[in-house]
Amino acid sequence: MTDDAAPTVLARPAGRLGWLTLNRPRAINALDLEMIRALHAALDAWEDDTDIDVVLIDGAGDRGLCAGGDVRDLASRITAGHPAEVALFFQEEYALNARIAEYPKPVIALADGITMGGGIGVAGHAAIRIVTETSRLAMPETRIGFTPDVGGSWLLARAPGRLGEFLALTGGTMDAADAVYAGFADHCVPRAHLDALREAFERRADPETPTELVLLFDETLEPSRLAAARVWIDDAFAADTVPQIIERLRARDEDAAHAAADTLEELSPTALTVTLAAVRRARELPDLRAALAQEYGLVMWFAHTQPDLPEGVRAQLIDKDRSPRWQPATLAEIDPGLAASALAFVPDEPLRG
């Protein structure tokens, strides 16, 4: 059965388990509005179902849980001048992110393979977040002239030291050990054991100890490379501004620090400036919903006022020439009040849910 013919979300009870599978494997299960609504509907149906004790979310295919939201469609709606349609997508997606975090039954997410952007919004706020040896997690929004959302700023702001700034600005990818260390995951289970884990959730006798069950399959991880890099990351990414971060990276001896500087110099100056401010402000916010509200304002600011998002999607995902024309093109051209203006933006379409 092809992606086009199959339901894009498979929702079925399996014993005591409510099993949700994102089912667009050719698109690495990228989220669209239909999928978001299907996930909402299943969670609504199972909330008061006494036969369901635990909800499990995974992805079809072997490439990943979810590569993100459908940003091509998003960019096309921005370019066509349909901000209300953009607002609707994010309103419903963010409501889903909060719903997963606040769900009264344990939600377990299998972040196997690629789990990025919108995939972090599905997996990162679950009660139990499982990665595997194939997991690759990231918030890569700055690479398309955008800013981390779906509650990503909340997770980034709570990563150890200055890892939040590093991961947010560079869009760096985490493996399983990195994800656990940075607070994006809780346990690592080998991919070969995932079927057995699902079956255990389906048949388990004790509905109140899902974490204890996961620990039966949990694998000890090698030390995180992010932990080993904390010295130069914390030093450089504590600087006040993006140009100062780059200056500190260039002053380091580590090759990885110079590579990070190279990356930052290629990315959207607007996205970098706003993202740095957003992550730091998220550290002062009281909860996930407050972070989602902040992100929604920034998303709509980008959609209403900034050309870099559609340009980044064009360069990275449509034409794939990898040569975006950012506006402005350099960090030196950024208005000193840009981040404050972005954070103060009030959308015409309020956040709901």
- pLDDT tens-digit readout, 252-266: 999 999 999 999 999
pLDDT, tens only, 166-196: 999 999 999 999 999 999 999 999 999 999 9
Which of the four pLDDT bands, split at 50, 70 and 90, describes residue 4? low
Instruction: Give me the pLDDT at residue 205, please.
Output: 58
Closest by CA position to 218, among listed 241, 200, 244: 200
pLDDT digits (tens, 9 = 90+) for 112-134: 999 999 999 999 999 999 999 99
Catalytic residue (one of 32, 93, 141, 175): 141
pTM summary value: 0.95
- Check residue 144 and report its DSSP letter: G
Cα dist from 55 to 26, 82, 201, whole Å: 24, 35, 9
Contacts of 269 (CB under 8 A, 6+ apart): 242, 326, 328, 329, 330, 331, 333, 334
The DSSP secondary-structure symbol of 326 reads -
Detail the DSSP E strand segments found in the chain: 9-14, 17-22, 54-59, 64-66, 107-111, 114-116, 128-131, 136-138, 187-188
Phi first, then psi, for residue 93 (nearest 5°) are -65, -45
Is residue 298 a contact partner of residue 149, using CB atoms and an 8 Å limit?
yes
Q: How confident is the model over 36-59, as pLDDT tens digits?
A: 999 999 999 999 999 999 999 999
Under 8 Å between Cβ of 22 and 9: yes
For the chain, list the domains and their CATH numbers.
9-343 (3.90.226.10)
Lowest mean pLDDT among 68-77, 215-224, 339-348: 68-77
Please provide the size of the chain in residues. Answer: 353
The one-letter amino acid code at 83 reads P
Residue 92 pLDDT > 70: yes
Residue of 18, 61, 69, 117 with catalytic role:
69
The catalytic residue among 32, 58, 149, 175 is 149
Q: Are 313 and 294 in contact (CB under 8 A)?
A: no
Please confirm, yes or no, whether 118 is among the known catalytic residues. Answer: yes
**DSSP for 62-105, written as a single string:** SSEEE--B-HHHHHHHHHTT-HHHHHHHHHHHHHHHHHHHH-SS
Task: Collapse the DSSP code of 121 into the 3-class scheme (helix H, G, I; strand E, B; otherwise coil) and give the result.
Answer: helix
Give percent above pLDDT 90 in the chain.
86
Over 90: is that where the pLDDT of 70 sits? no
Taking only the tens place, the pLDDT of each residue in 195-242 is: 999 999 988 755 458 888 999 999 999 999 999 999 999 999 999 999
pLDDT tier at 2, thresholds 50, 70, 90: very low
- Is residue 64 flagged as an active site residue? no
Task: Work out the mean pLDDT of the chain and round it to a whole number.
Answer: 94
Q: Give me the mean pLDDT over the 268-276 stretch.
A: 98
What confidence score (pLDDT) does residue 74 get? 81
Task: Output the pLDDT for position 208.
Answer: 56
Cα–Cα distance for residue pair 152/167, rounded to 1 Å: 10
Catalytic, out of 68, 118, 124, 172: 118
Does position 3 have pLDDT exceeding 60, yes or no? no
- pLDDT class for 353, splitting at 50, 70, 90? low
Token pair in block for residue 166: 């590093």
Query: Is 337 a catalytic site residue?
Result: no
